[in-house]
Amino acid sequence: MFCHNCGKELKPNANFCSNCRTEVIIIEQKDIKETLLFISSIIACGLTILAFNTIVIITGIIFGIIGLVGGIVYRSKNKTSKKSLYTIALGISGIAIHITWYLFIMYVL
């Protein structure tokens, strides 16, 4: 065994390093494996959530663009229709909401 602070070889059953007087910490390999397994499961869960949110965001932006284009086309045919204005507003707000959600996930969480 070696000192985790200075790297000097330790005497058997030593509680402190004879070179730097750092306390000897014994970590069992089982504890390390359990910790690594726990960390990898958290990372996998986080990546799954990120992938799901990315799909939702992209889908929302696509539907927002479809609504926006549909509203513009409908508005060009029916100049007096309020439905087209609502569709355009909903398309713009859908795009804005999903872009905001994307920025929130990427930079805040």
pTM for this predicted structure: 0.57
The domain limits of the chain are: 29-107
> Using CA atoms, how far apart are residues 95 and 68, in angstroms rounded to an integer?
9
Helix crossing, 82-107 with 29-77: angle to 10°? 160
Q: What are the strands, taking DSSP E only, across the chain?
A: none
Per-residue pLDDT of 28-62, as tens digits, reads: 667 778 888 889 999 998 888 888 888 999 999 99
Per-residue pLDDT of 78-100, as tens digits, reads: 888 888 888 899 899 999 999 99
Backbone torsions φ then ψ of 9, nearest 5 degrees = -65, 135
